[in-house]
Protein backbone atom coordinates (compact mmCIF):
# COMPACT_ATOMS: atom_id res chain seq x y z
CA UNK A 1 0.00 0.00 0.00
CA UNK A 2 1.09 3.56 -0.58
CA UNK A 3 1.24 4.03 3.18
CA UNK A 4 3.57 7.00 2.99
CA UNK A 5 1.30 9.03 0.72
CA UNK A 6 -1.86 8.17 2.66
CA UNK A 7 -0.16 8.80 6.00
CA UNK A 8 1.14 12.17 4.80
CA UNK A 9 -2.32 13.20 3.63
CA UNK A 10 -3.84 12.07 6.93
CA UNK A 11 -1.34 14.13 8.92
CA UNK A 12 -2.24 17.14 6.79
CA UNK A 13 -5.93 16.47 7.39
CA UNK A 14 -5.27 16.15 11.11
CA UNK A 15 -3.67 19.59 11.14
CA UNK A 16 -6.54 20.99 9.11
CA UNK A 17 -9.08 19.61 11.59
CA UNK A 18 -7.16 21.28 14.39
CA UNK A 19 -7.41 24.54 12.47
CA UNK A 20 -11.16 24.08 12.12
CA UNK A 21 -11.46 23.50 15.87
CA UNK A 22 -9.61 26.76 16.48
CA UNK A 23 -11.93 28.53 14.04
CA UNK A 24 -14.95 27.26 15.98
CA UNK A 25 -13.36 28.22 19.32
CA UNK A 26 -12.66 31.70 18.01
CA UNK A 27 -16.17 32.14 16.62
CA UNK A 28 -15.15 32.42 12.98
CA UNK A 29 -17.82 32.97 10.35
CA UNK A 30 -19.94 29.81 10.01
CA UNK A 31 -19.70 29.58 6.23
CA UNK A 32 -15.91 29.73 6.44
CA UNK A 33 -15.97 26.87 8.94
CA UNK A 34 -18.29 24.85 6.70
CA UNK A 35 -15.99 25.40 3.72
CA UNK A 36 -13.04 24.13 5.71
CA UNK A 37 -15.03 21.09 6.85
CA UNK A 38 -15.92 20.38 3.22
CA UNK A 39 -12.24 20.60 2.29
CA UNK A 40 -11.41 18.01 4.97
CA UNK A 41 -14.21 15.76 3.77
CA UNK A 42 -12.87 15.95 0.21
CA UNK A 43 -9.36 15.17 1.45
CA UNK A 44 -10.64 12.15 3.41
CA UNK A 45 -12.49 10.96 0.31
CA UNK A 46 -9.20 11.14 -1.61
CA UNK A 47 -7.41 9.07 1.03
CA UNK A 48 -10.25 6.56 0.97
CA UNK A 49 -9.93 6.34 -2.81
CA UNK A 50 -6.17 5.79 -2.53
CA UNK A 51 -6.62 2.99 0.00
CA UNK A 52 -9.37 1.36 -2.08
CA UNK A 53 -7.29 1.50 -5.26
CA UNK A 54 -4.37 -0.08 -3.43
CA UNK A 55 -6.66 -2.77 -2.03
CA UNK A 56 -8.02 -3.58 -5.48
CA UNK A 57 -4.53 -3.74 -7.01
CA UNK A 58 -3.14 -6.01 -4.31
CA UNK A 59 -5.60 -7.80 -2.05
CA UNK A 60 -8.41 -8.16 -4.56
CA UNK A 61 -6.18 -9.34 -7.39
CA UNK A 62 -4.45 -11.83 -5.10
CA UNK A 63 -7.79 -13.22 -3.94
CA UNK A 64 -9.27 -13.42 -7.44
CA UNK A 65 -6.20 -15.17 -8.81
CA UNK A 66 -6.01 -17.54 -5.84
CA UNK A 67 -7.53 -20.98 -5.48
CA UNK A 68 -9.46 -20.23 -2.28
CA UNK A 69 -13.06 -19.67 -3.35
CA UNK A 70 -14.10 -18.55 0.15
CA UNK A 71 -11.36 -15.92 0.26
CA UNK A 72 -12.33 -14.67 -3.19
CA UNK A 73 -15.99 -14.37 -2.16
CA UNK A 74 -15.03 -12.66 1.11
CA UNK A 75 -12.95 -10.01 -0.63
CA UNK A 76 -15.59 -9.40 -3.28
CA UNK A 77 -18.26 -9.07 -0.57
CA UNK A 78 -16.07 -6.52 1.22
CA UNK A 79 -15.82 -4.40 -1.92
CA UNK A 80 -19.58 -4.58 -2.44
CA UNK A 81 -20.16 -3.61 1.20
CA UNK A 82 -17.83 -0.61 0.92
CA UNK A 83 -19.73 0.68 -2.11
CA UNK A 84 -23.10 0.00 -0.49
CA UNK A 85 -22.09 1.89 2.65
CA UNK A 86 -20.72 4.79 0.60
CA UNK A 87 -23.96 5.19 -1.34
CA UNK A 88 -26.34 5.08 1.64
CA UNK A 89 -28.12 8.33 2.32
Measure the CA–CA gap between 40 and 49, rounded to whole angstroms: 14
Report pLDDT digits (tens) over 13-64: 999 999 999 999 999 999 999 999 999 999 999 999 999 888 888 888 888 8
Q: How far apart are CA 70 and CA 63, in angstroms?
A: 9
- CATH code, domain with 16: 1.20.58.1000
Q: How many domains does the chain have?
A: 1
Q: What is the pTM of this model?
A: 0.80
Domain that includes residue 20, residue range:
3-87
Amino acid sequence: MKNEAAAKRLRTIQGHVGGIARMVDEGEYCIDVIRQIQAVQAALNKVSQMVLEDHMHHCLITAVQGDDVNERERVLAEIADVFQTATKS
